[in-house]
Amino acid sequence: MTKVAVILAEGFEEVEAITPVDLLRRAGIDCVTVSLGEEKLVPSSRHIPVLADRSWDEMDFDGCDGVVLPGGLAGTERLLADARVEALLRRFGEAGKLTAAICAAPTVLARAELLAGRRAICYPGLEDRLPGAEVCCETVVRDGTVITSRGMGTSVPFGLALVEYFLGKEKADALAAKIVYRREA
């Protein structure tokens, strides 16, 4: 079974985290939320406490097929400051596993040198923090095993792109129809 880890760092953007988790789980993908800290209860950017499935130390990332980083400026800063995140991303990149990020979090992928020579997108105004990437202006950008997206308002198409990556366009389209979401052609 496909397994995806969504990393929650204090100050993460709620919608950018919960929407992809919801869509992945609806699609039948094992999606595990992982607290970057020792505590499983992680405060979001709007001070909504979210209970992660596992703390970082409890998580076995070896069994995962992908890792997803929600944005939120404070959460992204914490992701950038944690060497474990960069090491994990590099390991996933080298193994050809999915690395995905939304809003400000693609800057973390850039720090791990996963965007060089790839098409990518991020929150408007942070494009200069994606050195080496071919910055696009699309809702969601997939380039090989990397998926990036722009922000909270693109959380549904981002989540559906994750589903499509693992299960194909037909399954993603069926899920979009089920949640009454019209996908771009």
Residue 106 is encoded by which pair of tokens? 């693609």
Domain that holds residue 69: 3-178
In whole angstroms, what is the distance from residue 6 CA to residue 90 CA? Answer: 16
Residue with tokens 């760092």: 9
Whether residue 185 lies inside any domain: the answer is no
pLDDT mean over 30-55: 97
72, part of any domain: yes
Residues 153-166: what's their mean pLDDT? 98
Q: Give the largest Cα separation in the chain, rounded.
A: 42
Determine which one of 103, 122, 136, 137 is catalytic: 103
Q: Is the pLDDT of residue 185 over 70?
A: no
Asked whether the predicted pLDDT for residue 131 surpasses 70, the reply is yes
In-domain check, residue 92: yes
Percent of the chain at pLDDT > 70 equals 99
Q: Could you give the number of structural domains in the chain?
A: 1
Q: Is 103 a catalytic residue?
A: yes
Q: Average pLDDT of 170-182?
A: 97
CATH of the domain at 110: 3.40.50.880
Q: How confident is the model at residue 27 (pLDDT cuts 50, 70, 90)?
A: very high
> How many Cβ atoms are within 10 Å of 165's Cβ, its own excluded?
20
Mean of all residue pLDDT scores within the chain: 97
Q: Examine residue 183 and state whether it is found in any structural domain, yes or no.
A: no
Distances (CA, A) of 155 to 17, 21, 63, 158: 8, 10, 25, 5
Separation of alpha carbons 104 and 74, rounded Å: 10
CA atoms of 54 and 5, how far apart (whole Å): 10
In a domain, 120, yes or no: yes
Q: Is residue 152 part of a domain?
A: yes
- Per-residue confidence (pLDDT) for residue 184, from 0 to 100: 75
Question: pLDDT-derived band of residue 115, with 50, 70 and 90 as boundaries?
Answer: very high
Residue 183 confidence (pLDDT)? 85
pTM of the model: 0.98
Q: In this structure, is residue 62 part of a structural domain?
A: yes
